Amino acid sequence: MWTVLKFDKKNLSVLKEDLKSKLGNDFEIYIPKLRIQKYQNKKLISKELNLLGDYLFCFHKSLEHKKTVNSLMFIRGLKYFLDGFAESQKDIEKFIKKCKDSESEEGFLSRNFFDLDINKKYRFSSGPFADKIFKIINLQRNRIGILMGNIKTTIKKKEFLFTPA
């Protein structure tokens, strides 16, 4: 069963060790990540960000038992278990599948993770236009028609990473 944990970012390795000692080796941790590239002082800087901030998914077959969850409540590096994970298994599995399907070879979410809508505003997360807001005016197979201020242009979907604004 999948569960959602809020963890202390500084103690992630400690949390993994404690989970390993309590659950054994057959648990799985999944943290969806984004790679954001920005130009700063004329240099391209890459940053890794967790999509969910300080939340992660943890899978183990014994997490369906309340007794197991209660025994894990006070392990190091764990802030708390998010309530309602037992009732939301289908949604969690669907989200994790969508994340894993849109991951690149390096393990980062790719551009096709976000659903694109015409006339919605987005913010570039990578490339020379990082942090600039634009509006999608046309969607094609491999290209997107955008409007940035008064400038209309077309970009390739695979060249830039952007998020809803």
- At 32 the pLDDT is 92
Please list the pLDDT of the chain residue by residue as tens digits (165 residues).
Answer: 899 999 999 999 999 999 999 888 889 999 999 887 777 777 777 888 888 989 999 999 988 888 988 888 889 999 999 888 888 889 999 999 999 988 888 888 876 676 777 888 888 877 777 778 899 898 888 888 999 888 898 888 777 777 777
The tokens of 68 are what? 């197991």
Length of the chain: 165
- Which letter does DSSP use for residue 36 in this model? E
Residue 46 forms beta bridges with which residues?
37
- At 129 the pLDDT is 77
Q: CA 23, CA 19: separation in Å to the nearest integer?
A: 6
